[in-house]
Amino acid sequence: MQVPAAAERNKGPILAVLRECAGPGAAPGALRVLEVGAGSGLHAAHFARALPHTRWQPSDIDPRALRSIAAYVEATGVPNLLPPIVLDVSQGWETWGGTQPASLDLLVSINMMHISELRCTEGLFRGAGVLLKPGGVLFTYGPYAVDGQISPQSNVDFDRSLRQRWTCRPTTRA
pLDDT tens figures, 25-53: 667 678 999 999 998 898 999 999 999 99
Secondary structure class of 40 (helix, strand, coil):
coil
pLDDT of residue 61: 94
The neighbour count for residue 27, using CB atoms within 10 Å, is 8
- As a whole number, mean pLDDT of residues 98-110 equals 95
pTM over 0.95: no
Q: How confident is the model at residue 161 (pLDDT cuts 50, 70, 90)?
A: confident
Q: What is the mean pLDDT of the chain?
A: 87
pLDDT at 80 over 80: yes
Share of the chain above pLDDT 90, in %: 59
Helix, strand, coil tally for the chain in percent (to 5): 45, 20, 35
pLDDT at 128 over 70: yes
Nearest to 36 by CA among 133, 142, 134, 135: 142
pLDDT of residue 146: 85
pLDDT of residue 166: 60
pLDDT of residue 58: 98
pLDDT of residue 172: 53
Strand partners of residue 55? 32
Nearest to 138 by CA among 98, 69, 66, 89: 89
Check residues 85 and 42 and name the one with the higher pLDDT.
85
**134-156 pLDDT tens trace:** 999 999 988 778 888 888 887 78
Which burial class, exposed, middle or buried, applies to 130 when counting CB atoms under 10 A from its CB (0-12, 13-18, 19+)? middle
